[in-house]
Amino acid sequence: MEEKTKKTSKGKRAAAVICALLFIALLFAAFVFRGLIWSLFTVKSDAENGIYVIDFRDDYKLDELLEQGGVKTQDELAKYIIKVLLKGLPVPIAYEVPELGCSTFNASTPTDGYVFSRNFDNQVTDLAVVKTAPKDGYRSVSVVDLSFLGYTETFTPEKLFDRVLAMGAPYFPMDGINEKGFAVGVLQIMAPPTDQNTDKPDVDTTVAIRMLLDRAATVDEAIELLSGVDMHASAGGCFHFHLSDASGNSAVVSYSENEMIITRKTGSFICATNFYLHSVPFEYDVQGKDRYDKLTETLTQKNGVLSLEEARDLLQSVSIISTEPDEVGRVYSTQWSSVYDLTNPSLTLSPDRHYDKVFTFAP
């Protein structure tokens, strides 16, 4: 009987030790994954309008990425996201940036402020508004195409465990604004891909936007940052960046034969669509000239001055309506329209050409 009591006592102690170890393991896991878990629970959805809002609370370690030499491809970026943001979780992710249309412009406002606006033209998708607040950078709000992260019409971040892929969203902004009133949007050009190779840190298109939103307060600072990295265009494409800031400064940064070319506004505004704003020594597929001409004509008539509402109306006038599916079944149209108030930093968003629906977000 005494021996049985001893065995029971030992069994209880062993169970207590196991429970304690499990509790410590859970505490350790909760500590390691605290930012990720917090971010997962911040996701808010408006499924009716195809909008998800992510208040990202984890450290996505941009500084570490650049210090290690950066990334050249989306595969490299995916591996970094798995390692750093997902803490090594064996999540099968493959990010892809398809062909983009898009239109952008900047303008003054009647109240002596400034506005930056963009249409994002792509295949049918949901979107995420991503809020970030890095410790050593500027708070920002940006817009992400969820199809880039692997989501589809039937697979969305609606459920908690389906949100894991969305934790890579900070590295996939298409346009955004930070707390200093600096805004950026990216547009594609059907030209040879940019692939710079020197001894500078490597970035792809979307990592570059993340870097600018985190670190640039002005257009000049953004240009300096882009001058300090090697650009590797995502998805084997060619892209240019439209930059604007709270002082009214605006410029388009493009790449021709791996050389960075800066086109600054010569009047009160500058517009961009899907072709170079300067001559290049090669032929390429010029797209978006009709949209560019309409933007330029309207802004010229308005002397480069638009209210936020007029900016949204102008975006509507150059939006793309869904067309017949292409050879692989993709349907392209304007997925969202962003109007950024650079003077009082904020985003006013209209999804899927529903210009009667307006959603506002601040960095």
Please check whether residue 25 lies inside any domain of the structure. Answer: no
Residue 78 is assigned to a structural domain of this protein: yes
The pLDDT tens digits for 296-345 are 999 999 999 999 999 999 999 999 987 676 666 667 799 999 999 999 99
**Is residue 340 one of the residues assigned to a domain?**
yes
Order of strands, edge to edge, in the sheet holding 103-108? 271-272, 103-108, 114-123, 332-341, 346-351, 359-361
Q: What is the structure's pLDDT at 5?
A: 53
Q: Which of 122-126, 166-170, 187-191, 233-237 has the lowest mean pLDDT?
A: 233-237
Which amino acid belongs to residue 56?
A: F
Structural domain includes residue 19: no
- Per-residue pLDDT tens over the stretch 127-185: 999 999 999 999 999 999 998 888 888 888 888 888 888 888 999 999 999 999 999 99
CATH number at residue 240: 3.60.60.10
Distant-in-sequence, close-in-space partners of 173: CB < 8 Å, separation ≥ 6: 130, 142, 143, 144, 206, 209, 210, 213
Q: Residues with Cβ < 8 Å from 70, sequence gap 6 or more?
A: 201, 202, 203, 207, 229, 230
Q: Is 8 part of a structural domain of the chain?
A: no
pLDDT in the model for residue 180: 98
- Does a structural domain hold residue 72? yes
Query: pTM higher than 0.85, yes or no?
Result: yes
Dist CA 202 CA 183 (whole Å): 22
Number of compact structural domains in the chain: 1
Q: What is the pLDDT of residue 236?
A: 73
Question: How is residue 317 written in tokens?
Answer: 């006038």
Judge whether 167 lies within some domain.
yes
Q: Which domain holds residue 134?
A: 42-320+332-361
Torsion angle of C-alpha atoms 114, 136, 194, 288, degrees rounded to 10: -20
Residue 188 lies in a domain: yes
